[in-house]
Amino acid sequence: MKLNQITKIGILSFFFFTKCTVGPDYQKIVTDRPEFFKETKSGNWKTAEPKDDIFKGKWWEIYNDPYLNELEEQIETTNHNILASIAQMDQAQALLGQSKSNYFPTIGANSGITRQRQGSGYSQNPTETTNYSVNLNATWIPDLWGNIRRSVEANEAAFQASEAQVENIKLSVHASLAQYYFQLRTVDKNQVILNEIAECTKRQLEMIYRSKELGTANSIEVQKLESQYDLAKLNAEDNSILREQYEHAIAIILGKSPAEFSLEIKNTNIQIPILPMVLPSELLERRPDIAQAERLVAQANAQIGIAKAAYFPNLNLSSNVGYSSNDISNLFTLPTLIWSVGASLAETIFDAGSRKDKVEAAEANYRAVVNQYKQTVLQALQNVEDNLSAFNHLKSEELFQFNSMNKIESIYNLSNEQFEQGIINNIDLLTAKINLQNSKKSLNDLINKRVLNSVNLIASLGGGWKQFFMK
């Protein structure tokens, strides 16, 4: 068969056969989702699909804390979990490129020198010859049944899933840093209060010692205040431990050792963002874990096609062209030209059901991944509902605690007036002050719970709703 005839057959085979792709085409999974979040008491929602690629902005800036902003800006280049996920994404991208290269033929080149002597058993006059050769060869396996295309689809979905994983880890790390930071700042505020309580208790103890010397106090009263003073010092020390632990956690999340990082003590007023009346459902669509799960479904779908393609024969086209001569001076001349071209079909006749089992395994894996995706969506909905519920209730709790603190402050002010009038003694006044400080600490703790909840809510919605925040 002439070379041009074989070439034509190969070209026709490419355009005809590569249009066939076995296996199911991917269809996005439909999940049952509520039209609105229960805890928003609103119905302004729509059908959703993953949109994790929408830019979410630097959501932590809504807290208006320059120290937090500075820390958050660092972590994407220093946090090792983020850097590891980026490396895994680069690996997935390389595998995608590798699978795409299978669309094209493989071309190789070789050259050689062969020295040969023919023995006397073949000829009365043994001779020695030298052969020089230069060759180009090409092999190509056309994608007759879409095996390569399904492999590319699978690797592309895997790459996109790894992109979503990077975003998921970034979101988690940014949220963790914000929470550690706010907990540390709450500890800083509480340290001032706990030190004040310890100081007030110490002054009470000094007064009760003098009263006992004068015979106006007994041992029970002394021991009671001694116990309260020890407890006050214990609480202050415990708070210091928390501060150091949060500082260590921030160092680690920044990719530093605790020994090389410190954050100055600062009494910061934490601002809690205001939740908008309506949260569009697109925010849930931006969750990177949902996007990752959806891409894994697409990958599993493509793997069914890869498994089914094994039922069909593989066509292997090969060609070789070069020069061969025993005289190097005329190596690259027309008489020394050699070429070959060929095609072969390979088909498995019997495999004891191996291909069938592979298809069934791929289909079972697809069903598993689909259910994992649906479970991811449900867990995301629960996550949002839980955080919305907590957001609403904690806001009410803060108001109750604030009102309670105001009443205790009024009691302290009245006690101060009574002390000046000689109605109560200094120990009673200090007790009223300690009660006020404890109430302030309870308010700080509630504000801390609220701000941590707001971070959780932002994370559960995929990174915030920047354009919807109200100041």
Least confident of 12-16, 26-30, 423-427: 12-16
**Euclidean distance between CA atoms 156 and 100, whole angstroms:** 10
**Whether the Cβ atoms of residue 369 and residue 297 lie closer than 8 Å to each other:** yes
The pLDDT score that the predictor gives to residue 122 is 57
Q: Is the pLDDT of residue 50 over 70?
A: no
The pLDDT score that the predictor gives to residue 316 is 79
The pLDDT score that the predictor gives to residue 13 is 52
The pLDDT score that the predictor gives to residue 267 is 84
3-state secondary structure 354-416: HHHHHHHHHHHHHHHHHHHHHHHHHHHHHHHHHHHHHHHHHHHHHHHHHHHHHHHHHHHHHHH
The pLDDT score that the predictor gives to residue 33 is 64
Residues 6+ apart with CB under 8 A from 350: none
| 415 vs 12, residue with greater confidence | 415
Q: Is the pLDDT of residue 124 over 80?
A: no
The pLDDT score that the predictor gives to residue 89 is 94
Q: Is the pLDDT of residue 431 over 80?
A: yes
The pLDDT score that the predictor gives to residue 144 is 78
Backbone angles phi, psi at 314, to 5 degrees: -100, 130
Q: Is the pLDDT of residue 17 over 70?
A: no
Q: pLDDT tens digits for 146-182?
A: 788 888 988 999 999 999 999 999 999 999 999 999 9
Which pair of structure tokens corresponds to residue 118? 């023919």
Q: Cβ–Cβ contacts within 10 Å for residue 412, how many?
A: 18
The pLDDT score that the predictor gives to residue 24 is 83
Q: Is the pLDDT of residue 18 over 90?
A: no
**Whether the Cβ atoms of residue 29 and residue 267 lie closer than 8 Å to each other:** no
The pLDDT score that the predictor gives to residue 169 is 95
Q: pLDDT tens digits for 250-305?
A: 999 999 999 999 999 988 888 887 755 445 456 566 789 988 999 999 999 988 88
The pLDDT score that the predictor gives to residue 419 is 93
| Most confident residue range from 52-56, 323-327, 444-448 | 444-448
- Average of per-residue pLDDT values in the chain: 84
**Euclidean distance between CA atoms 118 and 127, whole angstroms:** 6
